[in-house]
Structure 1
Amino acid sequence: MTKPALGFVGVGRMGAPMVQRLLAAGYAVTICDPVPAAVEALVKAGAVAVKNPREVGDQADIVFASVPTPNIVKQVAVGADGVVHGKRTKIFVDLSTTGPKMSAEVNQALASATRPIMMVDCPVSGGVAGAEKGTLSLMIAGPAAARAELEPVMKELGRVLLCGDKPGQAQMIKVANNLASVACMAISCEMLVLGAKAGVDPQTMMEIISVSSGRSGAMQDKVPKHILPRTFDFGFSNALSYKDARLCLEEAEHLGVPLFIGNAVGQVLNMSKAQFGPDADFTNMIRLFEGWAGVEAIPHKKDADKAS
């Protein structure tokens, strides 16, 4: 069976390893990205580079987009040089986190184009490590025909989680997941700082909570790997985390659903972004709580270390 020609718009931290996996699986991949270095590295691996999404649409049966904001997704899909103006593409897959509203808008524009294109809403979870290992969670919503054609391609990237047949449904789940994830990190940071103020070793606190009823992805992954070592290098910026939170909060407001805790978390993210900068890793959040409490959540040295 002939493999479809693939296109990929946006080959940054997440997109590049996904393209690498698709190339390794034998797919022809046409790419574009405004960062020359990102493009050059993938061209060396076998990808073909073009100037804009329209040209990707000329070459690929299926085009994936992995870009940072909803407005960029819209430009990639239906802008002046968007995929919609290409001559070949049948399916457009949005891997970005754009929110339900923008997903529905782009879907409508693609469906009503002179040459209609099916849209698949497919935000991902798992970070750069998941993209590299092919273990991403792929939350997918879109027409059954498109999902069936995508299935063998998606298996190279991770696990497919069916969210519905209407673009936007996967986005709703993704932004809800992201806000819940940040809420877990915020409360974890608060508790670590509280413990530190009381003289408790943050390392001990993390180890116990991570196997007890208060455990979460934050305590089991982000805290030990990126917060307690003080590296703050999870790989997700304050700006992007706040953007995702706002997408969820805006959809809740649109639907008339009050999110008291979610709004508080959004405020904490906004303060972290203001204090440490939009490009700083969002794990810097704990430094806010530390500043307010006047203590740092730094693991104690072990007795053996003291003896030496």
Structure 2
Amino acid sequence: MTTPDTPSIGFIGLGAMGQKMARHLLDKGFDLNLFDPNPHALAPLLERGARSHATPREVADHAHIVLVCVPTPDIVENVVLGADGVIHGQKVSILVDHSTTGPSLARRLQAALSERNIAALDAPLAGGAAGAQNGTLSVMVGGDRAAYERCSSVFAAFGKKVEHIGTEPGLGQTLKLVNNMIVAATLVATSEAMLFGVKAGLDPRQMVEMLNASTARSFTSEQILAGTVMRREFDFGFRLDLMRKDVRLFLAEAENTGVPAFTSSVVKQFFDQALSEGDPARDMTHVVQVLDSLLIDASGMKRF
């Protein structure tokens, strides 16, 4: 239940994650101000009482806390720091970036926004579209502690595991890149190993069931391979081009910190190949089909 002290919320970016998160905020009674160039994404939220604005700046003229959830760092930078960006809003006091953009951009946003007395939190998400739908996302928050506490009820609307990672800007982004790099690497490695097992004569369903009861189990084997991939549907819910973007961000930040990333560099090549073979908006699990075509011949033998 909201109170007179409940902050008004702005939400920019109503894609696969953002629209579901915005619905949870409406469910909790938050006053919601929206910006998205897609009228179809806006429509169901406007029907429930949210208000649409023409620019991110207008959202920030009406909202104390502005959440951003968009695909790429360049869009975030334009939405926040552009001529019609959040930074120029008259009401906003906290900017929360839920996008995956990397720690370098998080630090730039914090430096620019602090000059306007706007606190910046980097708060990337884990849990995918299913987590957004169910309100069970993990939220990894870096930045000012007081701003984090001010946003705690907001994060609780769509998050199950919400953690303040530290006061240094970019720590949330760093943890998210670690998370996604591990998902990308285990997807490639587990798929490659299982395809060997299939070609050697193992039944894929029995194999994945045994792996998931053994030490090789992972989120990839339990949620991705045992689910969508086994059905040959390849629709886990995270775009291929966005996972490749996150892998590239990880590698760039690892180089900045002087950390070797040999395995991660090889993983990136598989996502590069998958991206070169068609629509970038396809699901990230298309990388399994790339491995499939490399490791299984055309003899008609059973695949995943």
Superposition TM-score tier, normalisation by shorter sequence: over 0.9
For 1:35 and 1:257, locate their aligned partners in 2 and report how far apart those are by CA, in whole Å.
40
**Letter of the structure 1 residue corresponding to residue 177 of structure 2:** V
**Letter of the structure 1 residue corresponding to residue 212 of structure 2:** S
Query: Offset at 1:15?
Result: 0.5
1:165-205 CA distance string (max 9 Å, x none): 12201100101110011111111110121011111111111
Q: 1:297 to 1:92 in 2, by over 3 A?
A: farther
RMSD over aligned Cα atoms? 1.1
Structure 1 segments, 4+ long, off by >6 Å, are none
Contact 1:192 1:297 in 2 (8 A): no
Count of aligned pairs between the two proteins: 297
**Letter of the structure 1 residue corresponding to residue 152 of structure 2:** E
For 2:53 and 2:111, locate their aligned partners in 1 and report how far apart those are by CA, in whole Å.
26
Query: Offset at 1:276?
Result: 3.6
Contact 1:228 1:298 in 2 (8 A): no
For 1:193 and 1:8, locate their aligned partners in 2 and report how far apart those are by CA, in whole Å.
42
More deviation, 275-284/36-45: 275-284
Residue in 1 that maps onto 2:53? 50
Q: 1:253 to 1:60 in 2, by over 3 A?
A: same
Q: 1:291 to 1:54 in 2, by over 3 A?
A: same
For 1:297 and 1:267, locate their aligned partners in 2 and report how far apart those are by CA, in whole Å.
26
SS of the aligned residue for 2:67 comes to strand
More deviation, 286-295/263-272: 286-295
Contact 2:98 2:123 in 1 (8 A): yes
**Letter of the structure 1 residue corresponding to residue 303 of structure 2:** I
1:261-287 CA distance string (max 9 Å, x none): 111111111111112431111101111
1:209-256 CA distance string (max 9 Å, x none): 111111111100000211110000011111100000001000001111
Q: 1:140 to 1:297 in 2, by over 3 A?
A: farther
- Where structure 2 has 5 or more consecutive residues not aligned to the other structure, the ranges are none
For 2:228 and 2:238, locate their aligned partners in 1 and report how far apart those are by CA, in whole Å.
11
1:146 aligns with 2:151: no
**Letter of the structure 1 residue corresponding to residue 157 of structure 2:** E
For 1:31 and 1:259, locate their aligned partners in 2 and report how far apart those are by CA, in whole Å.
39
For 2:45 and 2:248, locate their aligned partners in 1 and report how far apart those are by CA, in whole Å.
33
For 1:214 and 1:234, locate their aligned partners in 2 and report how far apart those are by CA, in whole Å.
20
Query: Offset at 1:294?
Result: 2.5
Contact 1:6 1:61 in 2 (8 A): yes
Q: Which of 274, 293, 296 is residue 294 of structure 1 equivalent to?
A: 296
Residue in 2 that maps onto 1:223? 225
1:23 aligns with 2:26: yes
Query: Offset at 1:297?
Result: 5.5
**Letter of the structure 2 residue corresponding to residue 70 of structure 1:** P
- Where structure 1 has 5 or more consecutive residues not aligned to the other structure, the ranges are 300-308
1:69 aligns with 2:72: yes
**Letter of the structure 2 residue corresponding to residue 290 of structure 1:** D
Residue in 2 that maps onto 1:199? 201
Correspondence list, 1:15-164, <5 A: 15-112=18-115, 115-158=116-159, 159-164=161-166
Identity of aligned residues (%): 38
